[in-house]
Amino acid sequence: MGRTAPACAFRLLPLNVGDVKFPRSSGILLHMTSLPSAFGIGDLGESAFDFAEFLAASGHKIWQVLPLNPTGFGDSPYQCFSAFAGNPLLIDPLTLCKQGLLSSGDVAQVRDFPVDRVDYESVTNYKKPLLHLAARNFFRDASQQQKADFDSFCRQNVSWIEDFALFMACKYHRDQVMWTRWEPGVRDRNPEAIGQVKRDLASEIQAYELWQYIFFQQWRNLKSRCHELGIRLMGDIPIYVAHDSADVWSHRELFHLDEKGQPTAVAGVPPDYFSATGQLWGNPIYRWDLLAQSGYSWWIERFRASLAMFDLARLDHFRGFEAYWEVPAGSPTAANGRWVKGPGAELFRVVESFLGELPIVAENLGVITPEVEAIRHQFGFPGMSLLQFAFGNDPQGPSFRPHNYGRELVAYTGGHDNDTTVGWWTSSGATDSVRTPEDVQKERRFARAYLGFEDQPVNWVFIRTVLASVADTAIIPLQDVLGLGSEARMNLPGSISGNWRWRLKPGALTEELSQRLKEMNSMYDR
């Protein structure tokens, strides 16, 4: 080990993120877990490279993914054990075989995984032993140069990797219970207790560090191939981190917590399109005053890590940086919250002073005020528009209609929290929102009149509309390209199970589909 750094010590060095302009282009939203593979979950192997080839052949220039961090509660990529680490479940076992870390016999007995969804428990039970075996083989057989490369990677990421590996090893040996339920010495990071844990779990800690080395090695290979094909990778930066995470455990002072580590206030949003009682996310709230005193060093490193991985990044819940919805801990819903001022433009001024102009897309959906938009315009962050929101009773509906689009915009048919376009169009009612059946019928009549179509497939009407719009960037969830219904929905806000599971079936991406997309991209100068 021996790569220690003081708590909250970050390497505040300038970073040139390159060209941050948004030339007219289009892309596909497909989370990495949704790719086909023999191992029950999409990964960084052959199918990822094949999808990049499909994008290039179809005239797309952007691949958007959801957060790629190790998932925790509900398998959600927005509730992760770390804001910095990669998800080891995305490591491709076949690449490990090519590197000699596994043998062909090790992966010969693949389970009969579902092809259309991810069974996270089965995937974890299958992949975790393989990853442990690969770690044992590495530390036994790796060359001096390979071990030196691994040590160099750990030194470069010292600000987070040791705390993350220690956190995960502790969880693994405590039956995955939340860190607030660990024995007080480890929970509160008593130096003597932590020292003993590091000695007791040294090999497990080292394995978690190695898996990060392998993940980012495989990611760099995929990113390099995408760049060769002219594809830019667009990531996602959630505004909040999970309570049960290495980030909160190792930096308790940066969050509103009590003496036992429990939140005194949690995040959410007030009543909205999706819920009459709001959405209670439960993430701990930042101590923005202390973050400001540290020069926002934690956030600088978070942006740095994301922009080292991705060419562009969607900044989730952008309005929360201007003002956020704070709910007292223990509240049954988010209805009894209040708006509290966030760091505002100061955070982005400080981050840009270190990292340069940020290639950020601001997720400006929800209750958006002039103050929120002023910050977005000040830094030139494109906003988002979802066509599914254009036709209903939402007071902001007119801003989602293409005749009101501006050029500095990312236009979507729908997003990961929406039903698929076909599901939205054909469902009998509004199971995912506060709309009444009458609202739904009125919405559909208006959409049909506005878009001027009769019997054409609604997904292709939507796709053509966003591609033809003046918005510089158009993004289409792959489920809409395939014309899939509600069974392919990625997430239903407010539900706690059954989400994030959809997978692309092998062979679904045909030459005919690619050619159709290419013609439309060419027609609309994408």
Any idea which residues carry the catalytic annotation? 316, 363, 417
Q: Which residues contact 387 (CB under 8 A, 6 or more apart)?
A: 400, 402, 411, 412, 413, 414, 421, 462, 465, 466
Q: How far apart, in Å, are the Cα atoms of 220 and each of 88, 153, 215, 226, 450?
A: 15, 13, 9, 10, 44
b/e 340-350 (16+ beta carbons within 10 angstroms → b): eebbbeebbeb
Tell me how far apart the alpha carbons of residues 206 and 88 are, in angstroms, rounded to a whole number: 14
- Beta carbons of 502 and 117 less than 8 angstroms apart: yes
Half-sphere exposure at residue 524, Cβ-oriented, CA atoms within 13 angstroms: 23
Tell me how far apart the alpha carbons of residues 418 and 169 are, in angstroms, rounded to a whole number: 36
| Pairing status of strand 338-341 against strand 323-328 | antiparallel
Task: Return the structure tokens found at 253.
Answer: 């002072």
Per DSSP, 523 falls in state H
Tell me how far apart the alpha carbons of residues 372 and 382 are, in angstroms, rounded to a whole number: 13
Tell me how far apart the alpha carbons of residues 359 and 432 are, in angstroms, rounded to a whole number: 32
Task: Return the structure tokens found at 517.
Answer: 């997309």
- Beta carbons of 51 and 60 less than 8 angstroms apart: no
Per DSSP, 70 falls in state P
Q: How far apart, in Å, are the Cα atoms of 410 and each of 28, 361, 383, 387?
A: 12, 8, 6, 11
User: Measured at the alpha carbon of residue 54, what is the angle toward residues 50 and 55, in degrees to the nearest 5?
Assistant: 120
b/e 234-269 (16+ beta carbons within 10 angstroms → b): bbbbbbbbbbbbbbbbbbbebbbbeeebebebbbbb
